[in-house]
Amino acid sequence: MSARVTLDGRVVVVTGAGNGIGRAHATTLAARGASVVVNDLGGTVDGSGSSGAAEQVVAEIRAAGGAAVASTDSVATAAGGADLVGRAIDTYGRLDAVIHNAGILRDRTLAKMSDEDVSAVLDVHLAGAFHVLRPAWPHLVAQGYGRIVLTSSSSGLFGNFGQANYGAAKTGLIGLMNVLALEGARRGILVNAIAPTAATRMTENLLGELTDRFDPQHVAAVATFLASEQCQLNRHILTVGGGRVGRIFLGVTPGWYGGPTPASPDDILDAVDEICRLDDFIVPDSGADEVTLIQRVLGGPSGPSA
Ligand code: NAI
C-alpha cells in the first residue's frame, strides 16, 4: 500500500534531532518527503559540551536521498530559536511544522537542586519551546497551516522521584499546548504533544530487560503522523513507547456541591472523599468547558435545569 501519511514539500524543524528520539523523528520525516532542519547543539545528557551530532544526522538523511540541513543553535536562548527558524526559511523558503524534542536532565531531589539545575532544564524544555515557536508562529499563521508537536513526559504528567525541574517543564509544555491549540485552530495550526518512552542515552539502564523493545522509531511514527497534514487531532497528548500508543488526558469531575452559602473547612473535610471521586468525569476542550460544567452543577443557564 502506498504511504498515506506524507510530508512531500513540507519543511519541518526538529529540535534535539542529533540523537535518540529526535534523530528517529528527523530520518522518518525525511523518508516521508519532508525537508528537515536537524537542530542539535550536540551536548551531553546534562546539556554540557557540543559535538557534530546534527551534521551526522544530516549526512545520514542525504545519503538516503532525503533533504536536510543542520542547525547547531541552542534552543535555550531566544537568539538560538530565531536563528533556527531563520535557517528553515533561508534554506527552504517556508516552515510547516515544528517538533520540539530537545531535552536535558539534571536529576536531583528538591533539597539538593541548585538554581542552575532548575533554570538549565526549564530553559531547554519549556522556554526552549517559546524560543522556537514565537519566531515560527508568524510563518504558520501567514500560510494558514502548521503542525506543532511538543515533547512532554510521564515524569511530569504523573510524577517521578528526583525530577521536579524536568517534571515541571514537561507539564508546562502541556499548558502551552492547551493554549496554542486554541489560538492556532482558526489558523489551520494544530498543536499536540507526545509523552514518549524509548531506549536512548537518557534512559540508559532504566528500561530493564525490555530495553530492546523501546526503539525510538516507535515514537517517530507517532510524531511524524502528528506533524503531517493527515493529522486532524488538536490538543491531544499521545503516549507512545515499545509499540503501544495511548492517550493521556486531563479530566474533571462534577464534584461536590455544598450549596450557595460558602462551605466551611469542616464541610470540605467531611466531603473530601466525594470531592475526589472519579465518577462521571469529563475531558474539557478548554477552560471555558469547565465553567460550563460548574454552571450545570449549580443548575445555571447552561445546566439541565435551565
Ligand atoms: P537524547 O539525550 O538522546 O536527545 C536529546 C537531544 O537534545 C540531544 O541530542 C541533545 O544534544 C539535544 N539538546 C539538548 N539541549 C539542547 C539545546 N539547548 N538546543 C538544541 N538541542 C539540545 O534524549 P531522548 O531520550 O532522545 O529525548 C528526546 C526528548 O524526549 C526529550 O525532550 C526528553 O525529555 C523526552 N523524553 C524522553 C523519554 C525517553 O524515554 N527517552 C521519556 C520522556 C520524555
Q: Which residues pair with 243 in a beta bridge?
A: none
Same domain, 44 and 80: yes
Q: Is residue 297 part of a domain?
A: yes
Domain boundary (227, 248, 269) is at 248
The reported pLDDT for the residue numbered 1 is 66
Q: How many domains does the chain have?
A: 2
Neighbours of 209 (CB within 10 A): 6
Domain that holds residue 231: 11-248
Beta strand 237-241 with 244-248 is antiparallel
Q: What amino acid positions are annotated as catalytic residues?
A: 166
What are the residues whose beta carbons fall under 8 Å from the beta carbon of 88, sequence distance 6 or more? Answer: 11, 13, 37, 94, 95
Asked if 63 contacts 97 with a C-beta cutoff of 8 angstroms, the reply is: no
- Complex ipTM value: 0.99
Q: Is residue 4 part of a domain?
A: no
Same domain, 17 and 152: yes
Q: Is residue 6 part of a domain?
A: no
Same domain, 206 and 301: no
Q: For 151-204, how does the pLDDT look when each residue is reduced to its tens digit (9 = 90+)?
A: 999 999 999 999 999 999 999 999 999 999 999 999 999 999 999 999 999 999
Dig out the grid coordinates for 131 from the structure.
Answer: 524560543
Q: Is residue 262 part of a domain?
A: yes
Same domain, 18 and 167: yes
Ligand 1 center from residue 183 Cα (angstroms): 27
Q: Is residue 60 part of a domain?
A: yes
Same domain, 175 and 306: no
The reported pLDDT for the residue numbered 27 is 98
Ligand 1 center from residue 285 Cα (angstroms): 29
Domain boundary (248, 263, 284) is at 248
First to last CA, the chain: 53
Ligand 1 center from residue 101 Cα (angstroms): 6
Same domain, 63 and 210: yes
Same domain, 204 and 215: yes
Same domain, 142 and 235: yes
The reported pLDDT for the residue numbered 3 is 86
Q: Is residue 185 part of a domain?
A: yes
Q: Is residue 1 part of a domain?
A: no
Same domain, 305 and 241: no
Ligand 1 mutation target, pool 14, 19, 214, most atoms within 8 A of CB: 19
The reported pLDDT for the residue numbered 2 is 78
Give every residue of the chain whose pLDDT is below 70, as ranges.
1, 300-306
Same domain, 190 and 165: yes
Distance CA 285, CA 56 (A): 41
The reported pLDDT for the residue numbered 304 is 42
Distance CA 273, CA 253 (A): 12
Q: For 75-109, how does the pLDDT look when each residue is reduced to its tens digit (9 = 90+)?
A: 999 999 999 999 999 999 999 999 999 999 999 99
Domain boundary (199, 217, 248) is at 248
The reported pLDDT for the residue numbered 306 is 35
On average, the pLDDT of the chain sits at: 96
Q: Is residue 3 part of a domain?
A: no
Distance CA 69, CA 35 (A): 8
Same domain, 48 and 161: yes
Q: Does the C-beta of 174 come closer than 6 Å to ligand 1?
A: no
Distance CA 109, CA 287 (A): 32
> What CATH number corresponds to the domain at position 184?
3.40.50.720
Same domain, 233 and 265: no
